Amino acid sequence: MTATPGYGVTLRGVTQRFGDTVALDGVDLEIRPGTITGLLGRNGSGKTTLGSLVAAFRRPTSGQVLVDGEDPWENERTAPGVCLVRESGDVLDEDRLRDNLDFFAGARPTFDRAFAAELMDLFELDPKSKPSKLSRGKKSAFGITIGLASRAPLTVLDEVHLGLDAPSRYAFYDALLADYLAHPRTIVLSSHLIEEIERLLEDVVVLDRGRVLLTQDADSLRAEGVSVTGPQDAVDAFVAGRTVLGTQRLGRTAQVTVRGGLTDADVARARATGLDLGPVPLQDLFVHLTDPRRRDGAAPAHAESEVLP
Amino acid sequence: MSTATASRTVATGRRTSPLTHALRRQLGVAAYLAGWYWAIALVVLLVATLIVWRVNGAVDVSVVAYARQSAIWFPFSQAILLVAALLRPHLAAGMTRRTFVRASLVTAVSTGLGYTLVLSALLLVERALHTAVGWDAEILEQGFELTGRDFPAMVAELGPALVLANLCGLLVGVVYHRFGGWWGTVTLPLTVLPIVATLALAGEWFGSLPALDGVLSGPADAPLLTGAVLVVVTAGAYAALTRSTPVRTPR
């Protein structure tokens, strides 16, 4: 058993094929124990496959998956401590919600029935209803209830927000954060709503077409993106030689998003030339990084755009 | 985000063993369905007996014997559903395929034996009642011969087919789960073969094989011996397929 809260995850050269489709391609990855890690990627990037491998829902075609230092496949020790909640839901469809809770609570040593009841109330779930009769949003809410109340040392929440309305999503984020602080563990959160979840994330993994595009702690990643705004000539001169992620022009004013940290000298130079420096939301970085044109070596879709006055 | 002062989360809570938990769930479903099945079956058998009596003035056939086919194929379909409905939630709840295989095999064999005991008991009760009122209890179903006259002999004759029906159901279920609808259907002749073979060989064909002269001590040994071999083969095939099956995403 690990001495840190939660299970860590290691993938070494993991490839997963489905016929001719390569869902994961030689993935090397470390997920630190006791963190909330955002698993980001476009549709079909391999997020769900990665979650399935970690939860031993399937075995990789090649490579090694380790959970808390051990192969999770048919592992009696790690299995009760790994909880994957998929968008599709893996519950007893024709049983009442309360019977589902009994079933999952009986199998999970860390399951908290009182917390499950709180979450059921929070999401206004009727214990007498059946999953097969629930709306998309309510199904998601029930998946979240099981995922959080399980308090598994490794919890993977894969697109569990689907169908949830905004108040329910924010209630979920608040509940997740509060419970994580009270009961630290490893949580992997996969979502397309990066703007909404970025405040929760400590680490970020970006998958793109089955490969790890980057893995980094969220704070340093945010610090790597800088928007430079000012006169076009001054902006062009400042960003020369830097990694430009995107450009927008309005008349003679330009705003350029660059990747890479700035030194104090860079900041002073920008200010001296009348340039404004600002942060870049994680979502913008994600969009730029996973732009298919950038990936294929062509000009990124958003790299050059002009907004007319 | 600081977690320095927060408590440590470890999987050290107490719980029943995964096998006990899975068994409780699976046996509970099987017992619930068996209760409904036999309640309905009893009513149907009673009504059928009354109708034959009113029409013919006597009931010289075993009406209960007609329940054998449904006692085979209802649990068979139930076992298919057991895999379809429970395997994904079982794994999602943090239990292993090994546990699922053990629990489902115990459930399948228990269900088959349970149905065998009830069917045998009903056949004996029917015989006793018919004898008391001066009726016969002939079995008219082609290929179904029941030579045993006492309870153990009947159980030995009926048991293999009823147990295998449950095991074949599991096998069919996991093939559908693992390989999808097309392959699940194409391989049905293979996955249902054990139960069909047992039903066929339980008749006079098996007992007439010269090679088994002297090997079998009585008529009940043929289906029992065949059944035992097929039970092991079917359970082995089911376990091998389930232990390595991925979890498919439902559509």
The DSSP line for A54-86 is: HTTSS--SEEEEEETTB--TT-TTTGGGEEEE-
Element (H, E) at B29: helix B18-56
A73, A83, A108: best to mutate for the B interface, most B CBs within 10 A = A108
The amino acid present at B212, given as its one-letter code, is L
The Cα–Cα gap between A141 and A125 comes to 8
Please, what is the Cα angle at B108 between B104 and B114, to 5 degrees? 140
B2, B5, B7, B9: best to mutate for the A interface, most A CBs within 10 A = B9
- State the complex-level ipTM: 0.86
Chain segment A110-155, per-residue pLDDT in tens:
999 999 999 999 999 999 999 999 999 999 999 999 999 999 999 9
Q: How many Cβ atoms sit within 10 Å of the Cβ of residue A273?
A: 14
Does A34 reach chain B within 8 Å, measured CB to CB?
A: yes
User: Percentage of chain A with pLDDT > 70?
Assistant: 93
The amino acid present at A196, given as its one-letter code, is E
User: Does the residue B6 lie in any domain?
Assistant: no
Enter the tokens of residue B234: 């079917």
- The β-bridge partners of A64 are A12
Chain segment B115-132, per-residue pLDDT in tens:
999 999 999 999 999 999
The Cα–Cα gap between B46 and B64 comes to 9
Q: In sequence order, what E strands does A137-242 have? A: 154-158, 186-190, 203-208, 211-217, 225-231
- Considering only alpha carbons, which residue of chain B is nearest residue A84? B92
Element (H, E) at B48: helix B18-56
Enter the tokens of residue B240: 């091998």
The answer for A 234-293 residues in CB contact with B (under 8 A) is none
Q: Residue A202: left if φ>0, alpha if ψ -120 to 50, beta else—which one?
A: alpha
The pLDDT assigned to A305 comes to 39
Does A1 reach chain B within 8 Å, measured CB to CB?
A: yes
Does A74 reach chain B within 8 Å, measured CB to CB?
A: yes
For chain A, list the domains and their CATH numbers. Answer: 9-209 (3.40.50.300), 224-306 (3.30.70)
Handedness of CA A7, A97, B247, A48 (dihedral sign): negative
Element (H, E) at A23: strand A21-31
Cα of B226 vs its chain's centroid, Å: 16
The pLDDT assigned to A262 comes to 82
Contacts of A111 in chain B (CB under 8 A): 13
Average pLDDT rounded to a whole number, residues A78-93? 91
Handedness of CA A260, A265, A266, A267 (dihedral sign): positive
CA atoms within 13 A on the CB side of B74: 16
Pick the range with the lowest mean pLDDT from A116-120, A191-195, A297-301, B46-50. Answer: A297-301
User: Does the residue B151 lie in any domain?
Assistant: yes
pLDDT in single tens digits along all 251 residues of chain B: 434 333 344 445 556 899 999 999 999 999 999 999 999 999 999 999 999 999 988 888 999 999 999 999 999 999 999 999 999 999 999 999 999 999 999 999 999 999 999 999 999 999 999 999 998 888 877 777 777 778 998 898 899 999 999 999 999 999 999 999 999 999 999 999 999 888 877 654 444 445 545 554 455 566 678 788 999 999 999 999 999 999 977 65
Strands lying side by side in the sheet with A243-250? A276-279, A225-231, A253-259, A243-250, A305-306
A59, A88, A144, A179: best to mutate for the B interface, most B CBs within 10 A = A88
Among the partner-chain residues A93, A152, A202, the one whose CB lies closest to the CB of B94 is A152
Contacts of A88 in chain B (CB under 8 A): 249-250
Please, what is the Cα angle at B117 between B112 and B122, to 5 degrees? 125
Give the closest-approach CA distance of A31 to chain B in angstroms.
Answer: 16
User: Does the residue B59 lie in any domain?
Assistant: yes
Domain residues for the domain of B192 are 18-243
- The β-bridge partners of B159 are none
The answer for B 2-21 residues in CB contact with A (under 8 A) is 3, 6-16, 18, 21
| Domain total in chain B | 1
The Cα–Cα gap between A82 and A6 comes to 10
